[in-house]
Amino acid sequence: MVPLLALTHGCGLFGMSHMFNLTDEALLHKRFSPRSIFLVALVAMLLFALHALEIGAVGMLYQFGGVTRSIPAAIALSASYYTTTGAGADVLPAGWRIVGHAEALLGLLLIGWSTAFLVRKIDRLQGRAHDSAKRQRRERLRAGSGYGGHEEMAPDAGAGDG
C-alpha cells in the first residue's frame, strides 16, 4: 500500500504541474497576480483532494480488513493516522498496528512533499516578481531617477561616518 500511495501522490503532483503548466520554466514567465493567487489556491484544494483520496484508500483497507464497523469510522481512523493527530497504537488490533504506523509515517512524508511542492511553486512566482522589481530598480538608477545611487552602496559603506 505504501508504494502505491507514494506513486499516486507523485503522479498527482506531476499531473497538477502539467495540467496548469506549473513547471519551473513556465513559472519564470508568469507574474505574481490575483490570477496566480487563484491558481495557487486551486492547487492547494487539489492537494487536499489528493490527500483525501489517499486517506480514503487506506480507510477502505481498514474497512475491508474488518478493523472498523463503518466506512466513515474507517476514514476517520485513517485520517487520524495519516495526519498523525491522534489514533494511538491501542486503537488498532495487534496485526494492524504496523499498518497504522506506516500510514502515519507515509502521511507525514506526503504532506511534507505537498508542502514543498506548493512552496516551490509560490517561490518561483514570487521570485519572478522580485526579479522584475530588481530589474525595474536598476533601470531607474541607470536613467538617473533613483535616489542618487545610494541603493547600490554596500550595507556598511556609510559606517564610520559619524
List pLDDT tens digits, range 98-144.
899 999 999 999 999 999 999 988 888 776 555 566 666 777 777 77
Instruction: With respect to residue 134, please indicate whether it lies within any of the assigned structural domains.
Output: yes
Higher pLDDT: 2 or 111? It is 111
* pLDDT score at 64: 94
State the distance between the two ends of the chain, measured CA to CA, in whole angstroms. 68
Task: Decide: residue 102, CB within 10 A, 0-12 exposed, 13-18 middle, 19+ buried.
Answer: middle
Asked if residue 148 belongs to a domain, the reply is: no
Cell of 93: 488490533
- Has residue 83 been placed in a domain? yes
Indicate whether 156 belongs to any domain.
no
Q: What is the pLDDT of residue 43?
A: 92
Residue 25 lies in a domain: yes
What is the per-residue pLDDT for 23? 76
Number of domains in the chain: 1
pLDDT of residue 133: 62
**Half-sphere exposure (CA, 13 Å, Cβ side) for 152?**
12
Domain for residue 152, yes or no? Answer: no
Q: Which domain holds residue 84?
A: 2-142
In angstroms, the CA 149 to CA 57 distance is 60
Count of CB atoms situated within 10 Å of the CB of 39: 17
d(CA 62, CA 113): 24
C-beta of residue 151 within 8 angstroms of C-beta of residue 137: yes
